Structure 1
Amino acid sequence: MAYPQELINEVLDYLDSGHSVREAERRFGVGHESAARWRRLRDGNLRANRPHPVKYPQDTVRLALGLAYGGHGFGLDEVAVMVGVSAPTISNWKRRYVEGGHMDIPEIDLGEIKHLSPDGRARMTDEELEEYIHKLELKAAVLEGTVKVLKAEGIDDLSNDEKAAIVDALPAGFTVTEALPEVGLSSSSYYYCKAKPERPDRYGRARAAIREEFALVGGKRGYRYIRQRLREREDPIVVSGKTVRRLMAEEGCRVSYAKKRRSYSSYAGEISAAPDNLVARDFHAEAPNEKWLTDITQFSIPAGKVYLSPVIDCFDGMPVAWSIGESPNAELANSMLEEACGQLADGEHPVCHSDRGCHYRWPGWIGICAERGIVRSMSRKGCSPDNSACEGFFGRLKNEFFYDRDWEGVTTEDFIGQLEQYMRYYRDERIKESLGWMSPMQYRKSLGLAA
């Protein structure tokens, strides 16, 4: 498919600004491979179509071709065993080099390769046999080192760094000079890899900034948030999300997501008729106060238990109102709903979705909804995915505020104060990628929906 040059230029400008090819794929609808190819072509890094460079020494190629196709009577499989390469590789060499006119079939003197057969090895002198055994030991040591590196790295292809590591891992009886051809690494590349640790880290400034930003949020935000904060610094650092994720892992900046069982349930049986599920897992809204979600979650600390009851707006995830207390009673839910209704404009009658907890089926809650024109909606019995957006809010809240912290010595009153502070932070300051890296309140102000 041919793309217009204007689109290609836009994609290249987007990549130059620090975005990844995957982000370009989502933004412009082009394949990430095409985007990467355009950049390589522009930078002169796109190689012309040519035969893949042979990784084996040239002497090995000539020996294999001469034995296989020089009329000596060896079969292709036999030659493969003799020179230590696969039969398809030898066939590819013939197609690329012999049939391509780049090399004639070499003439091989079998007297020079007598060690390739058992009879030949029997006629070798002690010095020749010792040298032959030494080469076999070298090959075995290289293979053993290769296996160790592959197991440690979990990869299939060896980079130059890994080949250099294999050479360094060889026993003392082998020299670097004789080992390099066996791993397919030139001496210049080997010593370049050895000198790498002495060169300055190109991501040194990014690493320091990542550690700083990660510490500022208490280690509770992921790589997308950190990447955005790096770009918003006074001296911006523009790196891709993939690089930020790798650097965070290398620096030990891992977000801990504790898995906790939900020990509190407000379900008390079918105490009144349940309304239909009007939301039907569609947690999107075109405007504020169209769809609300609510639930109650529990926090257990050494000093006791604390309960949070919020109303979450599906428009932007804003906690419209909330109440916090030490008992999951009707007053906790009703006071929160009254506060949320106090922010409604004339003519606004949102759908308020909840689970089948008893708080939302008692006369007090039903009376507030009827008086304020709130349309009730309920999940199916025992089906938490029907209110998954609210559950997701609780998950983010607990990962960032509650889990992986020592609450020993904190009273329930102090805890309630800290939770209140976090809820205000979530509403007014916590930026979200889905809102263009603005908080819910900032987003509404940008749209003229809040003063």
Structure 2
Amino acid sequence: MAYPQELVNEVLDYLDSGHSVREAERRFGVGHESAARWRRLRDGNLRANRPHPVKYPKDTVRLALGLAYGGHGFGLDEVAVMVGVSAPTISNWKRRYVEGGHMDIPEIDLGEIKHLSPDRRARMTGEELEEYIHKLELKAAVLEGTVKVLKAEGIDDLSNDEKAAIVDALPASFTVTEALPEVGLSSSSYYYCKAKPERPDRYERARAAIREEFALVGGKRGYRYIRQRLREREDPIVVSGKTVRRLMAEEGCRVSYAKKRRSYSSYAGEISAAPDNLVARDFHAEAPNEKWLTDITQFSIPAGKVYLSPVIDCFDGMPVAWSIGESPNAELANSMLEEACGQLADGEHPVCHSDRGCHYRWPGWIGICAERGIVRSMSRKGCSPDNSACEGFFGRLKNEFFYDRDWEGVTTEDFIGQLEQYMRYYRDERIKESLGWMSPMQYRKSLGLAA
């Protein structure tokens, strides 16, 4: 039946507005297959002259069915390559001949297939080889399109929108008609997805806020911190951590972590008897000034080297006291310990855990500990995990303050001033999830432990 061109144009406009071919059938009284065909013809996705079906010899049909369904362990795609036909063709033969009752599954002697070349491509004609290569290129293009659409999300449970995006990402050498079966999408679903109006980004405001908060911390804090900052804004933005992590990745807000570098070591051999490891990797404390951790870390800048010696309280991770200098001498460690002990109340005698560095085995350090009632504890020789909580503090400090910054032209005096400022920020302002999104000082004030 011939339809007026005016009607055809009306149907196409109706389909382009987002309606399905079934809806067009009900509204205009035309067959849905005709409507779909008009659209494919208009878009250049309909072959004007379809080739006549290829008629295969009965021996080829028998061999393909026997190998594919006779329990020989061959997959459908393997059999298709072996006998030189497509996998859907073999499936059609099964429905037509076996399920239609015209024949049983043929019994194939494996000797019959010894004459088959492991790679039938060697006997393909030029036309067959071109078709074979075209199919392989199509499969590769579909996989590349999948990567572009999904990035690192995986390939399971694709939505129709994602499948349509994959089809659109294919090179122009592949038509939509032949690509749709490869991605498992019907023609009507594809064109429905194409006709959808552009939807506004529901996370547009969150994206802008994420970029802003990420820039404020110099790109050094992760998604948990950003999520909390979004909720604390004057106009709160409440989204899940998983969503924040995804949006940060899409906006290029990635925290850079420097590769582990060789750290400063103050180990000078067994110069005195080492105390026992009383902490035993239990870095939790029920109250302030029960367990302290200490170590020395080095910062190397063009102007020279700077050393930091802090005392970290296991109760809340607060840097109780610290000293900064240009030489990792005994004065650096001893002055820090004296300052920390000055904050102790009567009756407080914390365990102070360190590595086996020489600073913590010299008479000056031992004398301060004895005078103030500090209980010494030391890691095992060469075992950094025994003081991992202090190492973790150094890692956070350097990722947020030191790495990925240009220190050219900065004097050691200026650097010491900036590091001093960061240590106060860490103690008084830097919030963390484990303390209910409070800084160590804010946390102690909330408990009435600090004025």
TM over 0.5: yes
- Comparing 57-66 with 329-338, greater Cα deviation is found at 57-66
Q: Take 1:130 and 1:415, find their aligned partners in 2: how far apart are those partners?
A: 67
Q: SS of the counterpart of 2:392?
A: helix
- Counterpart of 1:85 in structure 2 is 85
**TM-score (norm: length of structure 1):** 0.68
Cα distance, 1:104 vs. partner?
19
**TM-score (norm: length of structure 2):** 0.68
Cα distance, 1:376 vs. partner?
0.6
- Counterpart of 2:7 in structure 1 is 7
Cα distance change of structure 1 residues 301 and 91 upon mapping to structure 2, 3 Å threshold = same
Runs (4+) of structure 1 exceeding 6 A deviation are 1-153
- Comparing 387-396 with 82-91, greater Cα deviation is found at 82-91
- Counterpart of 2:66 in structure 1 is 66
* Kept after mapping to 1: 8 A contact 2:146/2:155: no
- Counterpart of 2:179 in structure 1 is 179
* Kept after mapping to 2: 8 A contact 1:51/1:96: no
- Comparing 114-123 with 201-210, greater Cα deviation is found at 114-123
Cα distance, 1:158 vs. partner?
4.2
Q: Take 2:139 and 2:428, find their aligned partners in 1: how far apart are those partners?
A: 65
Cα distance change of structure 1 residues 156 and 366 upon mapping to structure 2, 3 Å threshold = same
* Kept after mapping to 1: 8 A contact 2:302/2:407: yes
Cα distance change of structure 1 residues 298 and 331 upon mapping to structure 2, 3 Å threshold = same
Cα distance, 1:167 vs. partner?
3.0
Cα distance, 1:382 vs. partner?
1.1
* Kept after mapping to 1: 8 A contact 2:263/2:297: no
* Kept after mapping to 1: 8 A contact 2:84/2:120: no
Cα distance change of structure 1 residues 420 and 49 upon mapping to structure 2, 3 Å threshold = farther
Cα distance, 1:85 vs. partner?
13
* Kept after mapping to 1: 8 A contact 2:277/2:377: yes
- Counterpart of 1:303 in structure 2 is 303
Cα distance change of structure 1 residues 135 and 242 upon mapping to structure 2, 3 Å threshold = closer
Any gaps of 5 or more consecutive residues in structure 2?
none
Cα distance change of structure 1 residues 69 and 326 upon mapping to structure 2, 3 Å threshold = closer
Deviation digits for residues 127-181 of structure 1, max 9, x if unmatched?
Answer: 9999999999989987997799899975355442443244335565765356545
Cα distance, 1:118 vs. partner?
20
Q: SS of the counterpart of 1:115?
A: coil
Identity of aligned residues (%): 99
Cα distance, 1:202 vs. partner?
1.4
Q: Take 1:274 and 1:86, find their aligned partners in 2: how far apart are those partners?
A: 76
Deviation digits for residues 68-113 of structure 1, max 9, x if unmatched?
Answer: 9999999999999999999999999999999999999999999999
* Kept after mapping to 1: 8 A contact 2:45/2:177: no
Cα distance change of structure 1 residues 404 and 168 upon mapping to structure 2, 3 Å threshold = same
Cα distance, 1:203 vs. partner?
1.1
Cα distance change of structure 1 residues 205 and 295 upon mapping to structure 2, 3 Å threshold = same
Q: Take 1:8 and 1:283, find their aligned partners in 2: how far apart are those partners?
A: 76
* Kept after mapping to 2: 8 A contact 1:64/1:83: yes
* Kept after mapping to 2: 8 A contact 1:223/1:241: yes
How much is the aligned-residue C-alpha RMSD, in angstroms? 15.5
Q: Take 1:33 and 1:368, find their aligned partners in 2: how far apart are those partners?
A: 92
Q: Take 2:381 and 2:197, find their aligned partners in 1: how far apart are those partners?
A: 60
* Kept after mapping to 2: 8 A contact 1:379/1:387: yes
Q: SS of the counterpart of 2:152?
A: helix
Q: Take 1:144 and 1:446, find their aligned partners in 2: how far apart are those partners?
A: 54
Cα distance change of structure 1 residues 143 and 96 upon mapping to structure 2, 3 Å threshold = farther
Name which one, 1 or 2, has greater alpha-carbon Rg. Answer: 2
Cα distance change of structure 1 residues 25 and 352 upon mapping to structure 2, 3 Å threshold = farther
* Kept after mapping to 2: 8 A contact 1:115/1:121: no
Q: Take 1:33 and 1:314, find their aligned partners in 2: how far apart are those partners?
A: 72
Q: Take 2:241 and 2:109, find their aligned partners in 1: how far apart are those partners?
A: 58
- Counterpart of 1:320 in structure 2 is 320
- Counterpart of 1:363 in structure 2 is 363
Cα distance change of structure 1 residues 33 and 191 upon mapping to structure 2, 3 Å threshold = closer
Cα distance change of structure 1 residues 235 and 307 upon mapping to structure 2, 3 Å threshold = same
Cα distance, 1:265 vs. partner?
1.2
* Kept after mapping to 2: 8 A contact 1:160/1:193: yes
* Kept after mapping to 2: 8 A contact 1:114/1:120: no
- Counterpart of 1:398 in structure 2 is 398
Q: SS of the counterpart of 1:437?
A: coil
Q: Take 2:65 and 2:331, find their aligned partners in 1: how far apart are those partners?
A: 88
* Kept after mapping to 2: 8 A contact 1:18/1:240: no
Q: Take 1:4 and 1:282, find their aligned partners in 2: how far apart are those partners?
A: 84
Q: Take 1:248 and 1:185, find their aligned partners in 2: how far apart are those partners?
A: 31
- Counterpart of 2:271 in structure 1 is 271
Cα distance change of structure 1 residues 49 and 172 upon mapping to structure 2, 3 Å threshold = closer
* Kept after mapping to 2: 8 A contact 1:60/1:83: yes
Q: How many residues align?
A: 451
Q: Take 1:410 and 1:345, find their aligned partners in 2: how far apart are those partners?
A: 40
Q: Take 2:283 and 2:30, find their aligned partners in 1: how far apart are those partners?
A: 29
Any gaps of 5 or more consecutive residues in structure 1?
none
Deviation digits for residues 44-68 of structure 1, max 9, x if unmatched?
Answer: 9999999999999999999999999
Q: SS of the counterpart of 1:400?
A: helix
Cα distance, 1:273 vs. partner?
1.2
Cα distance change of structure 1 residues 179 and 371 upon mapping to structure 2, 3 Å threshold = closer
